[in-house]
Structure 1
Amino acid sequence: MKRFSISSIVLMFIGILFFILNWLIDGYVEPIVLTGVIFIVIGAVFSFVAISKREKGSVKYISIATFIILLFLVTCFEPFQVIRMMTWFRNIT
């Protein structure tokens, strides 16, 4: 395993921890969710970089699979989270 593979799985794990932290806190905290989304997206990008550089190991594939599964679970079980984030992004600009 190389640098991008390890970085991708670490960033995915941190992003998932932020989502769990938001779930544990009563209510909805937009900065925590935004930070989690940013970490997860950066982890997915690092995973694609690791694939393009042909790094050894299978951690890079686990990171992409986690990204896809997490997006699927969020849109299935918490669709309003996606709508809240899109509205929040729209209000920023």
Structure 2
Amino acid sequence: MQPRAARLPTRALIHVRTPTSEFDATIGNVSADGARLLGVPDDMLEVGDTLEIVVGNYHHLAEVRWHIDDTCGLAFNTSLSALQIATILGSQHIH
């Protein structure tokens, strides 16, 4: 079993796009392989949904792995680079 990647706490504001909607949310923590998303509007996401998070010029595809209340866990389709993680950690506003 592979060790779990380090999760870095943040309160980065991001934009989320799904095939049917768009909304703003907050990343609560991030690792190279996934993130915890906070502030998800009611009934916007289901487990298994594919979405795109937008931070600056970066667009990351992810799958919803779990969802409880207004929080969900994401698994990125491809691992984030150190630069992409730094961009998320440094995000102060919605782009």
TM superposition score normalised by structure 2? 0.28
More helix by share: 1
More strand by share: 2
Bigger-Rg structure (1/2) = 1
Higher relative contact order (CA 8 A, sep 6+): 1
